[in-house]
Amino acid sequence: MAVPSKTTILKTTDKVFTILDFLMREKKAFSIKELSEIFSIPPSTMYRILTTLKERNYVVQDHHTKNYRISYALLAFFHALSFDSLLLSYQGHLKLKELAFEPVSPLHLPSKKNIEPITSTASSHPIISN
């Protein structure tokens, strides 16, 4: 997949994800003014972004301080990775680990010249070219 250029990125969407990333890392509540200053976004724009995120339950607003923080709604994204797919991935990982240490017979590679067997450092089984 090609890396998107700056011209193909939606600026508003990029701002929203940048704000969400920040709130996830900081794990505390911020006012509209604080977030506006941090991201150099006008307070009216920050208000609209946070209102949208609040409507979608990605941020919550403290009733007393009116500050915003990340909500637990993002856990739904992780829930989308079903347990079955994670288990299958883990089982595949275990099988690959098992195969990596399983003894194998010598590997014979075709060649026009006969070359001496090569023994890898990880295995005592020779690699032989015919």
Give residue-wise pLDDT tens across range 14-43: 999 999 999 989 989 999 999 999 999 999
* pLDDT confidence of residue 128: 52
What digits encode the pLDDT tens for the residues 75-96?
Answer: 777 666 665 666 666 666 677 6
pLDDT recorded at residue 109: 57
Q: Is 117 left (phi over 0), alpha (psi -120 to 50) or beta?
A: beta
Q: How many domains does the chain have?
A: 2
The answer, yes or no, to whether residue 4 has pLDDT greater than 70, is: no
Residue 4 lies in a domain: no
Considering the domain architecture, whether residues 15 and 60 belong to the same structural domain is answered as yes
- Going by pLDDT thresholds of 50, 70 and 90, the confidence category of residue 9 is confident
Whether residue 110 sits in one domain with residue 61: no
Residue 74, pLDDT score: 75
The tokens describing 65, both together, are 């301080």
Domain range spanning residue 38?
11-70
Residue 74 CA to residue 129 CA, distance in Å, equals: 55
What's the confidence (pLDDT) of residue 27? Answer: 83
Within-domain flag for 1: no
Q: Read off the CATH number of the domain in which 29 is found.
A: 1.10.10.10
Same domain? For 15 and 61 the reply is: yes
| Close Cβ partners of 49 (under 8 Å, ≥ 6 residues apart) | 12, 15, 16, 19, 41
